[in-house]
Structure 1
Amino acid sequence: MTSLSPRHSAYFADPFILKHQDRYYAFGTGRSAREGRAFEVLTSADLQHWESLGGALLPVPGFENGDYWAPEVAFSEGKFYMYYSVGHGDKGHHLRVAISATPEGPYEDQNLNLVSGEPFSIDPSPFQDEDGQWYLYYARDFLDGARVGTALVVDRMLSMTELAGHPQVVLRASQDWQIYQRNREMYGQTLDWHTLEGAFTVKRNGKYFCFYSGGAWINDTYGVNYAVADHPLGPWTEPFDHASILNTHLTGLTGPGHNSITVMPDGQDGIVFHAWDEERTRRQLYILPLLWTPEGPRVEGTAVLQGSE
């Protein structure tokens, strides 16, 4: 049993936290929020006490009853840009962008498919480099190679609403722990399906670190690892061949993952992620300190973590 406690007791998966003008705004996948909008948004001054501000995203025409996943928000030139995917169930997901004048919304979809032509794309994550250039990391399906499945790419952004259209591979599956499901029926085939998703990139100590989740979000195979590069487009290398940042063994939580990173009130980085409650009915919001050591990033914050390898 873990000693960790969620920061918010309700369902709040794929959490992303934006800090703006000394307040935090959390966006997550979950139930439809008030006013018929997708993505509940929470706000806090300290990352401990949260207030719900209702729904963030106005429904997209044609997807009023769709499934909206994994929002992340970027602030640029006075506007807030929300990147997310929408589809029906786990079919037809594609990347979209919505704009708001305020961090809490409402966000209005711009009627753009950012990756038209791809059959399945999820988890868009914007990153701005020190020179001002924006990049978008996301996950898409690959049917070639020894380990087929969902994996990670990055594309340069021509503007906040347009990609260059030349995605570069960040990481493909390379290990068995990244298997989502064996003998899965996909694209008219039966495949051992691998999943890498939820990329989130930061620059620290002169290097780029791309954190990602692998395995099956529905069970305890899910966890977080990272890769390192000298440029946002790569090439990327993984120092570890397992979920070295978050996993069930390290945390005592079931399926910890789909992380983002925020700067906490004390100035330290915090890793934001979800994990299942004990009944496995809700994915809930967690935040732990993320430490930068000579050996690389690591998470600590409980006796469970401190006593683990």
Structure 2
Amino acid sequence: MFRYILKRLLYAIPVFLGITFVIYTLINLAPGGPLSVLAASGEMSLSDLEALKISMGLDKPIVIRYFIWLGDLLHGDFGISYRTSQEVSLMISQRIMPSLMLTGTGILAAMLVGVPLGIISAYKPNSVWDHISTFISFIGASVPNFFLSLLLIYVLAVKLKWFPTSGMQSSGMSGNLLDLLHHLALPAFVCGIQPIGNYIKQTRSSVLEVLNEEYIKTARSKGLTNVVIVLKHAFRNALIPIVTTISLSIPFLIGGAVVTEQIFAWPGIGSLMITAITSRDYPVIMGVAVLICGVVLVANLILDLIYAALDPRIKFK
């Protein structure tokens, strides 16, 4: 297993370099730049802007700047924000826990609701529960995050005043767990509604496929109850595609959280990324990109290890 993990980590190096180089090149080729706001305001002369450009290293070719950035990254230096002059690592560390809280709650809620509903739908096809699950899947797959966010804010926060419209905590309520959960409810629901639909569909189809296998018919002929057959035999053998769906939804959930965090003014990585993009804050953009890229690569490695734990036929090479 150690040899396999080492091999996967070595494979991840060129993937990481390729992804970061493409992102670095694209953001530097985008119209505008870190100095465009200062130039438009007229607060600095052309000579001052040119001196600032040289001091920031923006006068060098993109490839040279990328390798300078990569060398600093290998020494644990994520750079300094152009906008706030703070260390990028500090800015990300302040935002990562709110994002993990939001996306983690969304994934957990989606798993706790979606997987059981998928099992029930497979166990009782064309039943009331099956129709309810299909409806939830349809809503999750078809309603955009931004529309659902605005709809919930308008109905539940503005009209009914059941929930706050934005933010992570109310003024003067820092450290209050109930107030935090009150603010977390709506954005976490938005983050979880789309994966719930995917989990329901994948769980239902996987369990139904397994229920048609010969060994399931053998289990029924032995007198085992349907509950035992579904939970002990069918669900366990259907876990691999279900786990795949859950793991693949993680990067998409992070991407969706960018929109959700911006709408709900949630102080996470997503809102930091939007602010960095609008201000052309290259170091912050790259810092967030490194974080997301690392999460996806590690999640894929963990997924392969889970495969081996679920299916003894899978061997590490």
More helix by share: 2
**TM-score scaled to structure 1, two decimals?**
0.26
Q: TM-score, normalised by structure 2?
A: 0.26
Relative contact order, higher structure (CA 8 A, sep 6+): 2
Higher strand proportion:
1
